[in-house]
Amino acid sequence: MSAENQITTDWQRQNVQVVLAPRWESVQTQERSWLWLNGNRIDDLEAQIQALTRRFDYHWVWRGTEWEYRAPGYRRGPMLVPLDHEALLTHFLDAWAPQGAGLLLQSSEPSDVLLMHLQQLHLLIGADGMPLSFSLEPSRQLEEIGEGLPSAQRAQLLGPIARLTWRADSEASTEWLQLDMPAHCGGTPLRTGEHLQLTHEDETALAQASYRWFIRDTARLFFQRYPAHTSDLTEQQLCNKLALIDAESDVLGLALERDARQYMALRLTYPKELFDRDATLRKLLCSPQMSARHRLLEAEEHLSRTARSKVESAS
């Protein structure tokens, strides 16, 4: 089951930066600051905005478009709000950002240009010409887009947006992340009906970015869950180790990330020789008639019994 090749990938983010949480002083820049908020995640969003700002200069992004009255309706879509009140930023940091309900963006363009661009970001066009749903909602997908797309496509995606800042969507991390307009690239706003077109190369790069996110996130989660097994490793070393184990999970047919992650946990916390030499364990893991989830549960139980037996024999 073991993979012999060494993994030399640099697992660190390349384009998305880790930054400090936004502060009121830091959002007072040359570009105007806005909040993009998800009405589907925030109940009574409009009432909350009015209570915080006493103003009505916000914009429902889907208002006036073909999606205005499509289910779930424009009030369950995104809202663009000028970040002109410190109380609004405080509430964003305390309530909305932790639940992944919005992000901060900065732009020097007028609100109508920014709004038109945001209205086109509900879709991307795949290499096969088929539409792919997309949202600026702070999530793994947004980080993968920022990491995977080349500079020209990132500039097209951002258009009039100079900077995006959001809280990481991960059980393993509460980092704040930032994506800037690529240097020496001028973003052009998407026109009505125009969407970002992905190439086959773009889709390959996004798949690689997704894999890197998964390995990196698993490593950070395992540092928290299994300190006794990870304390002597750097993040780069643990990512390399997990990538080798993940190659084994592919051979075992563990297609879901949930199952691959559980297998990584077993391999990390139990001796490797059991996976190489224990015939019962190998039979359990390689049983095609059992679901992956069932195989892993049975394997974990077997490993636990084996470990207990060894402790009892030693005593």
Residue range 219-272, pLDDT digits in tens: 999 999 999 999 999 999 999 999 999 999 999 999 999 999 999 999 999 999
- Any idea what the Cα angle at residue 241 is, between residues 306 and 218, rounded to 5°? 90
Angular region, 108: left φ>0, alpha ψ -120 to 50, beta rest: alpha
Q: Cα(312)–Cα(315) distance, rounded to whole angstroms?
A: 5
Is the pTM above the cut of 0.85?
yes
What's the pLDDT band for 173 if we cut at 50, 70, 90?
A: confident
pLDDT for 8: 59
Percent of the chain with pLDDT over 90: 83
Percent of the chain with pLDDT over 70: 96
How high does pLDDT run on average in the chain?
Answer: 92
Q: Cβ distance 103 to 35 under 8 Å?
A: yes
Mean pLDDT of 140-159: 94
Structure confidence by residue, pLDDT tens digits, 260-314: 999 999 999 999 999 999 999 999 999 989 999 999 999 999 999 998 887 767 7
- 17-19 and 59-60 strand pairing: unpaired
Q: Cα(28)–Cα(35) distance, rounded to whole angstroms?
A: 13
